[in-house]
């Protein structure tokens, strides 16, 4: 029997085990196992909604236990801590803190990445991060009292990539909507970016549309501003300016966790991403694959697959097909990322998007619907269209019956 172990149940890993589970269901020759420390899956591009109190846990969180039973894979609730390649053994730490081991025939690493503080002094101690559902829930614990403070409060967000822009816009929208309640404070939001423009990985016109939409929502957008140091309640720019805040977020860059550099000789790059060939196999070991944000995967034009949800989903889909070939002894095909564009949410009912090879820059409610559709496509892979349709209907109903903001 061959055992395929997938480590990390995020955008890439959970889609992969779902696809493999359904492909291999009923097979006595293969077993699919997911190793993941959390009990529930949250789609990472929606973490800013957890922080802003607008996320619906009941409808959008996926229990790994339940999903595994329905989808034909085994779920092990644990964190990977190490690897023995010669023995094909994973070292794990269970939720009770106990060390255990798990053997594999094929291993897929899909452990994602976190924000990169670029070793900026004080950032890890004095800033909040948005890299996991737990951190987003912690952020909500801090934001909720600010929204009830009855006087202006300031939130500073460093990094204007997708995470920073979506968080700034969502908080601005919540603050605006709560304006109708007398006890609600006004949030002043400052978004800081070191590059020349916000969303530096996207086309210039998209950045401009997003910047205008944020300014319309009252966000103070500051570009070409590099943060040099963080202290409790303030940030210092490279020009020596002190920016005081009630809450400060760090949402700049990405980096893999340090333990990835100590995986029995597997090579990593300067961002701690594991280096793989175009077939998603590590250069040192063809039985170990890496997908999603934790991979550095080359593309035909010499670039690398970007760390985006869309790329994670495509890699999961590609690898599921490649396992079919591999298990039949056939040659693996390279993974080529097809960029379907970039869509960024700007508050609850607005979004900006760059489509058709960046030729089409769009904004508004229709693009927001497209943004929501990307999440629904992820859910469709996990549950099928029947359940997704039910979830859409339930959401509509709850939107009518309940306030959007969970703090009310
Ligand atoms: C707030 C926010 C907004 C975003 N918005 C967008 C957007 O609009 N568009 C876009 O394309 N991208 C967006 N992204 C980026 C996108 O979410 C990631 O590119 C994508 O989730 C990467 O998928 P992944 O599977 O590689 O990692 P993740 O989705 O991060 O999953 C990694 C999984 O690995 C698990 N894990 C970690 N360590 C271990 C371990 N030691 N052992 C076992 N499991 C482990 C984690 O618990 C997690 O479940 C956003 C990200 C954030 C945070």
The answer to whether the beta carbons of residues 144 and 407 sit under 8 Å apart is: yes
**Per-residue pLDDT averaged across 202-227, rounded?**
96
- Whether 131 is in a domain gets the answer yes
Q: What is the pLDDT of residues 315-368, one digit of tens each?
A: 999 999 999 999 889 999 999 999 999 999 998 889 999 998 888 899 999 999
Q: What share of the chain is helix, strand, coil (3-state, %, to 5)?
A: 35, 25, 40
Same domain, 88 and 220: no
- The CB of 50 under 6 Å from ligand 1? The reply is no
Atom number in ligand 1 closest to CA 257: 38
Judge whether residue 375 has pLDDT over 80: yes
146 and 228 both lie in a single domain:
yes
pLDDT in tens, 77-117: 999 999 999 999 999 999 999 999 999 999 999 999 999 99
Asked whether residue 186 falls in the same domain as residue 249, the answer is: yes
Residue 138 covered by a domain: yes
What is the domain range of residue 150?
Answer: 123-253+342-401
Concatenated DSSP letters of 95-118: TTS-EEEEE-SEEEE----B---T
Same domain, 66 and 144: no
Q: 365 Cβ partners below 8 Å, 6+ apart?
A: 349, 350
Of the residues 111, 255, 261, which should be mutated to test ligand 1's pocket, given the most ligand atoms within 8 Å of the CB? 111
Domain limit, last residue, from 263, 293, 327: 327
In the reported structure, the alpha carbon of residue 140 is separated from the centroid of ligand 1 by a whole-number distance in angstroms of 19
Does residue 61 sit in the same domain as residue 95? Answer: yes
- Which whole number is the average pLDDT over 203-214? 96
224 shares a domain with 362: yes
Model pTM?
A: 0.94
Question: Given this model, what pLDDT does residue 183 score?
Answer: 63
Let me know whether 159 and 266 are in one domain: no
Asked, for residue 408, whether it belongs to a domain, the answer is no
* pLDDT at residue 222 is higher than 70: yes
Measured in angstroms, how far is the CA atom of residue 171 from the centroid of ligand 1? 21
Least confident stretch, 233-247, 289-303, 392-406: 392-406
125-176 pLDDT tens trace:
999 999 999 999 999 999 999 988 888 999 999 999 999 999 999 999 999 8
Same-domain status, 28 and 102: yes
Per-residue pLDDT band for 28 (boundaries 50, 70, 90) equals confident
- Whole-number pLDDT of residue 184: 64
Q: Is 166 in the pocket of ligand 1 (CB under 6 A)?
A: yes
> DSSP secondary-structure letter at 224?
S
> Which pLDDT band, with edges at 50, 70 and 90, does 211 fall under?
very high
Residues whose CB is less than 8 angstroms from the CB of residue 131 and which lie 6 or more positions away in sequence, other chains included: 112, 113, 114, 115
Best of 45, 163, 305 for a ligand 1 pocket test (most atoms within 8 Å of beta carbon): 45
Same domain, 318 and 373: no
12 lines ligand 1 (CB under 6 A): yes
At residue 333, the pLDDT reads 98
Q: What are phi and psi of 7, to 5 degrees?
A: -105, 120
Is position 107 within any domain? yes
Which is more confidently placed, 29 or 231?
231
| Cβ of 62 below 6 Å from ligand 1 | no
Within a domain: residue 407?
Answer: no
For atom 6 of ligand 1, the residue with the nearest CA is 45
Going from the Cα of 45 to the center of ligand 1, the distance in angstroms, rounded, reads 8
The count of structural domains within the chain is: 2
The confidence score (pLDDT) of residue 57 equals: 81
């Amino acid at each position: 029997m061959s055992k395929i172990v997938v480590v990390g149940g995020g955008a890439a890993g959970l889609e992969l085990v779902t696809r493999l589970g359904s492909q291999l269901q009923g097979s006595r020759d293969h077993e699919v196992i997911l190793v993941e420390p959390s009990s529930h899956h949250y789609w990472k591009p929606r973490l800013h909604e957890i922080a802003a109190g607008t996320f619906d846990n009941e409808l959008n969180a996926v229990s790994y236990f339940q999903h595994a039973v329905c989808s034909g894979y085994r779920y092990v609730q644990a964190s990977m801590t190490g690897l023995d390649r010669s023995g094909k053994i994973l070292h794990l730490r269970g939720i009770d803190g106990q060390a255990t081991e798990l053997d594999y025939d094929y291993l897929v690493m899909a452990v994602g990445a976190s924000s990169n503080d670029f070793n900026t002094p004080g950032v890890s101690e004095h800033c909040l991060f948005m890299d996991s559902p737990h951190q987003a829930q912690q952020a909500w614990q801090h934001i909720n009292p600010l929204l009830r403070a009855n006087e202006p409060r300031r939130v500073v967000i460093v990094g204007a990539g997708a995470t920073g822009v979506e968080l700034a816009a969502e908080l601005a929208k919540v603050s605006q909507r709560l304006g109708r309640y007398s006890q609600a404070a006004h949030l002043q939001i400052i978004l800081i970016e070191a590059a020349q423009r916000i969303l530096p990985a996207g086309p210039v016109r998209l950045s401009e549309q997003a910047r205008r939409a944020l300014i319309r929502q009252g966000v103070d957008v500051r570009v070409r501003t590099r943060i040099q140091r963080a202290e409790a309640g303030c940030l210092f720019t490279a020009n020596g300016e002190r920016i005081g805040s009630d809450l400060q977020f760090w949402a700049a860059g990405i980096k893999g966790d340090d333990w990835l550099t100590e995986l029995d000789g597997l090579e990593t790059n300067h961002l701690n991403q594991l280096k793989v060939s175009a077939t998603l196999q590590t250069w040192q070991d063809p039985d170990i694959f890496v997908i999603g944000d934790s991979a550095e995967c080359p593309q035909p034009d010499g670039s690398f697959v970007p760390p985006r949800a869309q790329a994670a989903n495509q890699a999961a889909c590609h690898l599921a097909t490649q396992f079919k070939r591999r298990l039949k002894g056939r040659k693996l095909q390279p993974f080529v990322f097809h960029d379907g564009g970039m869509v960024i949410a700007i508050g609850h009912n607005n979004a900006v998007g760059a489509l058709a090879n960046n030729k089409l820059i769009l904004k508004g409610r229709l693009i927001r619907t497209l943004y929501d559709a990307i999440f629904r496509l992820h859910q469709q892979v996990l549950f099928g269209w029947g359940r997704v349709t039910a979830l859409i209907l339930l959401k509509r109903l709850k939107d009518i019956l309940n306030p959007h903001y969970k703090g009310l």
